[in-house]
Structure 1
């Protein structure tokens, strides 16, 4: 299984304010919104940073940070995670280039699983 952290998601009930803050303080490049989600590029230099996004937090995760972990087979990863005590918060969702699901580990930490198409 891959298991590589490939991104982050900052959830906020005030995403525009978060975008302004991170853009001004750290110089992050923020794209136009797509489904209340703004893609973020943290660096375009030789010292590349991890990219992610800022989202209007949904009711089940109104604010906070989640990492996104890339897996080869999302169904297998979900099965393994739940067998080891995780809870599914949002089952597999299909997007243009990937599948995404959100889970919470046994300690309450939220994370995303992502499988590229």
Structure 2
């Protein structure tokens, strides 16, 4: 089965995100992208950070249910996991769209993690 076009768009933004692996399901692939994104954030230009998070938001807005779930449980959860481990999510929160923000807040609540005030700004 072929990947949605937005997967290639993600990889084309910055090579540090890696490359497609046909052996991985879409959720695991997006988890890998999320790990690469958060682990290498200082090597990714700010505009590319914005674009990557914008693509995630587009998928949450208009993707099918599988795509939305993959972005949420693969990519965004991996970024939240990195934040729990010290990743500076606050520095790019301005690039996180409203659907992505809502997911992050809901996931924190579900997980019993207190969301800091900056996560609620603009909600």
Class of the TM-score when normalised by the shorter of the 2 chains: under 0.3
**Structure with bigger gyration radius:** 1
Structure with greater helix share of residues: 2
After TM superposition, the score normalised by the length of structure 2 is: 0.27
